[in-house]
Amino acid sequence: MTEQTHEFQAEVAKLLDIVAHSLYSEKEIFLRELVSNSSDACDRLRYAALTKPDLIKEDPEFKVILSVDQKAKTLTITDNGIGMTEQEMIENLGTIARSGTSRFSEELTGDSTKDINLIGQFGVGFYSSFMVADKVTVVSRKAGEKAATVWSSNGGGSFEIAEGTREGRGTTITLHMRKEAKEFLEPLRLRNIVKTYADHIALPVILKAEKEGDEDEVLNTASALWTRQKSEISAEQYTEFYHHVGQAYDSPWMTLHSKVEGRIEYTMLLFIPEQPPFDLFSPERKSKLKLYVKRVFITDDCEELIPAYLRFLRGVVDSEDLPLNVSREMLQNNPVLHKIRSGLVKKVIGEIEKKAKKDPESFASFWDNFGAVLKEGIYEDTDNGERILKLAQFRSTKADNRTYLADYVERMKEGQDAIYYITGDDIDALKSSPQLEGFAAKGIEVLLLEDAVDNFWLSRITEYEGKSFKSVTRGTAGLENLADEKDPSKEPETKAESAEMDSLIALFKQALEGKVKDVKESLRLTDSPVCLVADDGDMDIHLEKVLKAHKQFGGAESMRILELNPTHMLIKKLAANAKTNGTSEALEDAALLLLDQAHIVEGDPVSDPVAFSKRMADFMASGISA
Ligand SMILES: Nc1ncnc2c1ncn2[C@@H]1O[C@H](COP(=O)(O)OP(=O)(O)OP(=O)(O)O)[C@@H](O)[C@H]1O
């Protein structure tokens, strides 16, 4: 094979440009990234060798070797991990393989300060080499294969691929250091960087002696961090490990390191991030927790290890009881794993509960980030759902900050026997929903539930501490049993006479036949003329919308009830007119217009915008005398 030139994927070219020209601070992280990749490559081969021991027979000790050539001004990082085939090199070192690539690309602004921040969130991985090197050569040979491939690039728009030779499996990365990065050729500097960023790596990182006859030096502790005593691990070491294992760049919000002994033995070192990962809400709901068996990495894609609603956790679980030759398939329905999972969930929820008590402010920021995910557990986890519900904080019409249900219940008014809520996806729209007016008038607090997931848990959980949940947009809402809060400065509203309202309702029903389920006098409106509500047995308005948006709604659309506010000036006039004159085109138009208005307030599109505009214009014209 002769040398071939390949173009970098567009995102990579942009990234490299920023990496090479703007990323001035913290250049040293390039070594963390490369050693981390080497460690991952060794982990992957160790796993593959469980079923194919021949792969590592000739060279069973995994290691990373750093060597410096002062004359050539190169730093070389060599590992005996799994290696890459030619095709894998083209894919892995020419594209950004991670799932957020398209988002990454969309969010690059061209403004270097902003872009550096963004890169901080995504990580630069291998490409960080170009922060310190103006030429990078990678020679790799996949375990079990003879051929080796050379990849090289100067960080411009392209890279070269050629055939190469390599003794044994693994990957060797040679960095031709830029002049201003020559500090990274000094042993002292390298020693410090490895100690800071790679001490927790479970395999030795060795600095090759420069002079013949001198001893090579192991730079790190080289034992898996989670196997060490808590007292021997510093906060910085935990954070570094979190960066490595979680592919994250923030600090952990919570670190949970615990060894479980007894009939089943396992160690977990878990982290809850401070910042939400960018793919938190991607539909796969995948967890990234790493499963190890007796220090051997097995997988980071194990659905059985943690429930999806804890997918924001990062870290490792290392089991003593699973067989080493466990295949990923065997992990399904595995009783040991099942016990680990249930222990882990209880521990994590327990720790979050403690933190919520001890540091409410910090808990509030956690809830901001992950509450919407954790709430999935309320309906998915029959064992722990109730505990999560107790931890849950919601916005409400009364509390400035989010409120616990327990506090809501404490504030409930005399005679109030339900927990009222309204669901939607925009908090401002929720706050101004007409359906809340009657509740405000009676001083009743309503929870404003803004996450799609709220609709789902509410379809399964019907009460909290004996108080049922009640949607303010469905049924009668029970307002008739609750007294108004009297405002002495306000005259009581006059209502349309009931005979007039009866006539108006009868006319509206006729005009809106087939468009609404019913027309009723409203108890819940004080300011708006009309609103839509769902009938008692029907699906809540917002839930139906959410299901439709997720294409999970197959049934016929439920028809809604149109409620009329008998104290509103317009309704009073229409009612008087209906009683005196009976049906008329103007009243029919009013009915249709008011229905459209009610839909608009719900955020629905107007079903026939042309007819709507025409009616609106006619109506306005008739109201204005020349
Ligand atoms: N030393 C290595 N041995 C084998 N494969 C490697 C090595 N270094 C990189 N790779 C491959 O190249 C891919 C891309 O590496 P890169 O560092 O850019 O991203 P990453 O490791 O997937 O993510 P991140 O670095 O952000 O944690 C890796 O996922 C891996 O498949």
**What is the tens place of the pLDDT at every residue in 500-513?**
999 999 999 999 99
Give DSSP secondary structure letters for 27-76: TTHHHHHHHHHHHHHHHHHHHHHHH-GGGGTT-----EEEEEETTTTEEE
pLDDT band at residue 449 using 50, 70 and 90 as cut-offs: very high
> Which of 15-19, 309-313, 324-328 shows the lowest per-residue confidence on average (mean pLDDT)?
324-328
Domain-located, residue 372:
no
Q: Note whether residue 396 is domain-resident.
A: yes
Report the residue count for the chain: 626
pLDDT digits (tens, 9 = 90+) for 216-242: 999 998 889 999 999 999 999 999 999
Same domain, 329 and 418: no
Q: Based on the domain organization, do 297 and 340 belong to the same domain? A: yes
Give the residue, by CA position, lying nearest to ligand 1 atom 19: 125
Whether residues 315 and 420 fall in one domain: no
Same domain, 426 and 359: no
Kindly state whether residues 469 and 550 are assigned to the same domain.
Answer: yes
Q: How far is CA 350 from CA 244, 257, 344, 383, in A?
A: 26, 13, 10, 13
Is residue 540 a part of any domain in this protein?
Answer: yes
Q: What rounded mean pLDDT belongs to the chain?
A: 89
Tell me whether residue 130 is in a domain.
yes
- Spacing, Cα 47 to ligand 1 middle (Å): 17
Two structure tokens written together for 454: 């709220």
What's the CA-to-centroid distance between 467 and ligand 1, angstroms?
A: 53
Residue 478 reports pLDDT greater than 80: no
Is 377 domain-assigned?
Answer: no
Ligand 1 centre to CA of 92 (Å) is 7
- 62 has a pLDDT exceeding 60: yes
494 is a domain residue: yes
Give 202 or 184, the one with higher predicted confidence: 184
Q: What is the mean pLDDT of residues 136-146?
A: 97
User: With helix as H, strand as E and coil as C, how does 269-310 read?
Assistant: EEEEECCCCCCCCCCCCCCCCEEEECCEEEECCCCCCCCHHH
Strand 133-141 with 148-153, pairing: antiparallel
How many independent structural domains does the chain possess? Answer: 3
- DSSP assigned state of 433: -
Least confident of 139-148, 241-250, 406-415, 540-549: 540-549
Report, in angstroms and rounded to the nearest whole number, the Rg of the chain calculated over CA atoms: 32
pLDDT of 25 higher than 70: no
Does 152 lie in the same domain as 136?
yes
pLDDT for position 359:
97
| SS3 at position 580 | helix
295-299: which pairs have CB atoms within 8 A and are 24 or more residues apart? Answer: 295/202, 295/224, 295/227, 296/43, 296/46, 296/47, 296/50, 296/324, 297/43, 297/44, 297/46, 297/47, 298/47, 298/322, 298/326, 298/328, 298/331, 299/47, 299/328, 299/331
Tell me, what CATH number does 499's domain have? 3.40.50.11260
Strand-pair category, 467-471 with 418-423: parallel
From ligand 1's centre to the CA of 568, what distance in Å?
Answer: 66
Maximum pairwise Cα distance, the chain = 112
CATH number at residue 159: 3.30.565.10
**Residue 580 domain-assigned (yes or no):** yes
Residue-by-residue DSSP string for 96-149? --STTHHHHHHH--S-HHHHHHHHHHH--GGGGHHHHEEEEEEEEE-TT---EE
Mean pLDDT of 411-424: 92
Using alpha carbons, select from 594, 599, 593 the residue that is nearest to residue 611.
Answer: 593
Which CATH number goes with the domain that contains 354? 3.30.230.80
- Per-residue pLDDT at 100 exceeds 60: no
The domain boundary, picked from 193, 223, 253, lies at 223
pLDDT of residue 571: 95
343 and 479, same structural domain? no
Mean pLDDT of 141-146: 97
- Residue type for position 64: V
- Would you state the pLDDT for residue 465? 92
Among residues 283, 303, 280, 299, the alpha carbon closest in space to that of 291 is found at 299
**Are residue 191 and residue 265 in the same domain, yes or no?**
no
Taking the centre of ligand 1 as the mean of its atom positions, its distance from the CA of residue 126, in whole angstroms, is: 6
Of 160, 188, 223, the domain-final residue: 223
- Give me the interface pTM, i.e. the ipTM: 0.97
Report the range of poorest mean pLDDT among 29-38, 440-449, 487-496, 546-555: 487-496
Residue range(s) defining the domain that contains residue 461:
392-622
Residue that wins the pLDDT comparison between 117 and 164: 164
Do 152 and 231 lie in a common domain?
A: no
29 and 41 in one domain? yes
Domain boundary, last residue among 188, 204, 223:
223
CA 72 / ligand 1 centre spacing (Å): 26
Phi-psi region of 168 (alpha: psi -120 to 50; beta: other; left: phi over 0): left
- Binned at pLDDT 50, 70 and 90, residue 329 comes out as confident
Q: 3-7, 391-395, 550-554, 562-566: which has the minimum mean pLDDT?
A: 550-554
479 — pLDDT class (breaks 50, 70, 90): confident
**CB 33 near ligand 1, within 6 Å:** yes
The answer to whether position 89 is within a domain reads yes
249 lines ligand 1 (CB under 6 A): no
Domain shared by 548 and 476, yes or no: yes
Pocket residue to mutate for ligand 1, from 9, 15, 32, 40, most atoms within 8 A of Cβ: 40
Domain shared by 141 and 248, yes or no = no
381 lines ligand 1 (CB under 6 A): no
Residue nearest to atom 13 of ligand 1 (CA): 92
Of 486 and 41, more confident: 41
Tokens at residue 102, please?
Answer: 């398209």
